[in-house]
Amino acid sequence: MKVLAGILGFAALLAFVFAMGNWGLFTREFFGTRHRAIDNKIFKESEQYNDGMIRDLENLMYDYKMADSEDKKRSIKALARHRFSVYPKDKLSFEQRDFLNN
């Protein structure tokens, strides 16, 4: 009887450990998307991200001005439009918005 109780106790312990392992996977799956969305929002509102995007656009504008052929200018312009298609336009200066729109 004690052996059977020990085996059942051990099986219950294994089942509990297995359930807790799967519970972690469940919670990570359920809450993980919410955490990623919050992390993404915080990242996109950060000063480093916004300063980096502005700096990238300034570099692209400089490269555009220094380009010696129309093909290079077109490719730089297409790259800038693609990179900044999801970036909020209200965070850009008038000159930068004009560059992306023309």
Q: Per-residue confidence at 38, pLDDT binned at 50, 70, 90?
A: confident
Sign of the alpha-carbon dihedral angle for 84, 86, 87, 93: positive
Q: Show me where the domains of the chain are located.
A: 1-45, 47-101
pTM of the complete model: 0.62
Could you report the per-residue pLDDT of 39-59, keeping only the tens digit for each? 889 988 899 999 999 999 999
pLDDT of residue 63: 93
